């Protein structure tokens, strides 16, 4: 493969301005992540100490193999919801190494609202189990949940992807032969009681762990019976009387040791075999990404500069480099694994869509995972482009993206707007993982375009009755639209709603992709199969 020659002028004023801006964004990201992970009122930490419970982060640290990476997902879920009072949606989820085995870890964070499930908590747990299903990853549940947050029950209880989906996904994992271990460290109430019950193995901690469909207050209200939590569903009762519990643990550390022994016994199926060689680092420093990403989201940059700082040896075998140049396609290696890269270098045209669709099929045929790097304002519009069949050509790209059997990974590097979001393997198209950068934006269209469209529509409505808007009135329509779009298209809003799997500092992207790619190979890769392409 040919090494990418970088044209980035690291001494230019523009590079330095971009660098300063994006370093500030990365610093802000780290502050927000640290707050979501560690900052709690002292009374919540005191409550955990009083109950002889470890903080969720300490539980995970004890579970993981020493000095191994933990790819945390959706750290900032719910950061824009519930008045900011439910950091991380009261859940910690990620991919880690336990007893030498890649696993999904799902942990209730009982330092936040006693681990109660909010609507976004449920969404985050469902997503974690979807990842386990897609990638055939065993799951370790660290259970400590006070039950659903009842004032919002209508938003998480009854629908297809609400709380019942957690239990359904657990059942599907079991059917697939993918094991789960649950450590009951606190109360598992109502639907939460089924999490350990649906796991192949569970461990209940003496004194703090309990499993029951209705806790003591519910039992008292429903039947008049007065019973303690230990009598109703404690470790001794469930491991010696009901048989709901498998292992009795005297402490959380004891329970974690039991769980690690269980995971060590798991069968390790062979990973899917794809083209791989010895890895090597990129030639260019990843920190230069800060100077390449434009300060203004509307600014242009060459996606090859991004690729050069992500892939092994900064080498890239570009496919059709002189055709349909607004879409960059080609082969590279990431930690030794061969990947096919599809990256935006501008708006999508009809020929870009055809090139992308053909390249995706090539990758699918030779079992090459796909990496999509998004910076797209959408497909080109206009009479001439419609006459050439841009909608038909765009449908081909969407068909190829939807039908590809190889693992897909998506990074939102800058803008992600309109149908371009879909064609570049957006969330709806089941990429194994989607990550954003702090500068990124995602929406049906850009803020400026949306404000222009809505202002134009209002002006036309008034024109029909002979009215006319003043410049001040036009601004009065335009500014609120701009403000709302900027807020709701930001990376922080997207990650709050779990439209991605987390925001990455750009310099961490290569490592995160390597972990995600390795995890994805636990699942078999199906043979290519496509629907109908409109010719």
- Return the residue matching tokens 């470790």: 235
Residue 327 half-sphere exposure, CB side, CA atoms within 13 Å?
Answer: 31
pLDDT, residue 449, reads: 74
User: What would the mean pLDDT of 164-171 be, rounded to a whole number?
Assistant: 97
Helix (H, G, I), strand (E, B) or coil at 439: coil
Pseudo-torsion of CA 448, 449, 453, 459, nearest 10°? 40
pLDDT digits (tens, 9 = 90+) for 315-326: 999 999 999 999
Q: What is the mean pLDDT of the chain?
A: 94
CA-CA distance, 406 to 342, in Å (whole number)?
14
pLDDT, residue 478, reads: 76
pLDDT digits (tens, 9 = 90+) for 28-50: 999 999 999 999 999 999 999 99
pLDDT, residue 477, reads: 74
In DSSP terms, 108 is beta-bridged to: 91
| Interacting residues of 159 by C-beta distance below 8 A, sequence separation 6+ | none
Q: pTM to 2 decimals?
A: 0.94
Gap between the terminal Cα atoms of the chain: 33
Q: Is 1-10+272-443+490-535's fold the same as 40-265's?
A: yes
pLDDT, residue 187, reads: 93
pLDDT digits (tens, 9 = 90+) for 212-235: 998 888 899 899 999 999 999 999
Nearest Cα to Cα of residue 277 among 332, 343, 314 = 332
- CB–CB of 408/401 below 8 Å? yes
Q: Give residue 476's pLDDT band: very low, low, confident or very high (50, 70, 90).
A: confident
* 1-10+272-443+490-535 fold: 2-enoyl-CoA Hydratase; Chain A, domain 1 (3.90.226)
* 40-265 fold: 2-enoyl-CoA Hydratase; Chain A, domain 1 (3.90.226)
Residue 454: is its pLDDT beyond 80? no
pLDDT, residue 297, reads: 87
- CB–CB of 45/111 below 8 Å? yes
Residue 465: is its pLDDT beyond 80? no
Where do the domains of the chain lie?
1-10+272-443+490-535, 40-265, 447-488
CA-CA distance, 317 to 333, in Å (whole number)?
10
Which one is predicted more confidently, 87 or 455? 87
- 509-520 helix and 119-135 helix, angle to the nearest 10 degrees: 60
Q: Give residue 433's pLDDT band: very low, low, confident or very high (50, 70, 90).
A: very high
High-pLDDT (> 90) share of the chain, %: 87
Residue 254 burial class via C-beta count within 10 angstroms: exposed 0-12, middle 13-18, buried 19 and up: middle
pLDDT, residue 337, reads: 97
pLDDT, residue 248, reads: 98
């Amino acid at each position: 493969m040919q090494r990418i020659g970088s044209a980035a002028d690291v001494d230019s004023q523009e590079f330095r301005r971009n660098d300063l801006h994006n370093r500030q964004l990365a610093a802000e990201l780290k502050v927000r992540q640290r707050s979501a992970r560690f900052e709690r009122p002292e009374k919540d930490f005191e409550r955990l100490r009083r109950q002889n419970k470890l903080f969720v982060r300490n539980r995970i640290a004890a579970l993981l193999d020493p000095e191994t990476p933990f790819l945390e997902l959706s750290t900032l879920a719910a950061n824009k919801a519930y008045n900011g009072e439910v950091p991380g949606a009261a859940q910690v989820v990620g991919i880690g190494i336990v007893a030498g085995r890649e696993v999904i870890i799902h942990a209730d964070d009982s330092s936040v609202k006693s681990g109660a499930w909010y609507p976004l908590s449920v969404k985050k747990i469902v997503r974690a189990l979807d990842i386990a299903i897609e990638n055939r990853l065993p799951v370790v549940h660290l259970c400590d949940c006070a039950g659903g947050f009842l004032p919002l029950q209508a938003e998480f209880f009854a629908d297809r992807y609400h709380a019942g989906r957690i239990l359904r996904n657990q059942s599907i994992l079991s059917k697939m032969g993918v094991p789960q271990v649950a450590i009951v460290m606190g109360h598992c109430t109502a639907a939460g009681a089924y999490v350990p019950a649906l796991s192949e193995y569970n461990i209940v901690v003496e004194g703090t762990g309990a499993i029951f469909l209705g806790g003591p207050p519910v039992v008292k209200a429903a039947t008049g019976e007065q019973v303690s939590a230990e009598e109703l569903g404690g470790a001794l009762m469930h491991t010696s009387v009901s048989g709901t519990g498998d292992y009795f643990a005297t402490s959380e550390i004891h329970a974690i040791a039991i769980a690690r022994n269980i995971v060590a016994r798991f069968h390790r199926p062979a990973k899917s075999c794809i083209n791989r060689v010895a890895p090597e680092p990129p030639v260019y420093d990843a920190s230069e990404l800060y100077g390449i990403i434009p300060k203004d989201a509307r600014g242009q940059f060459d996606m090859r500069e991004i690729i050069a700082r992500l892939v092994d040896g900064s080498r890239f075998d570009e496919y059709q480099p002189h055709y349909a140049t607004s879409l960059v396609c080609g082969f590279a290696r990431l930690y030794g694994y061969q990947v096919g890269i599809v990256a935006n270098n501008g708006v999508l045209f009809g020929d870009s869509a055809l090139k992308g669709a053909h390249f995706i099929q090539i990758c699918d045929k030779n079992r090459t995972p796909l990496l999509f790097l998004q910076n797209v304002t959408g497909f080109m519009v206009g009479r001439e482009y419609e006459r050439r069949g841009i909608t038909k050509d765009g449908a081909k790209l969407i068909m190829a993206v939807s039908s590809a059997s190889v693992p897909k990974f998506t990074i939102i590097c800058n803008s992600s707007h309109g149908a371009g979001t879909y064609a570049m393997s957006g969330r709806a198209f089941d990429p194994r993982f989607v990550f954003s950068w702090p500068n990124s934006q995602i929406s049906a269209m850009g803020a400026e375009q949306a404000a222009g469209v809505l202002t134009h529509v209002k002006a036309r409505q008034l024109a029909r009755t002979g009215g006319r808007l003043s410049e001040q009135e036009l601004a009065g329509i335009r500014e609120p639209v701009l403000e709302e779009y900027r807020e709701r298209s930001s990376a922080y809003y997207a990650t709050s709603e779990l439209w991605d799997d987390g925001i990455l500092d750009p310099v961490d992207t290569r490592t995160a992709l390597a972990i995600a790619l390795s995890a994805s190979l636990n699942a078999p890769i199906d043979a290519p199969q496509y629907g109908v392409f409109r010719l």
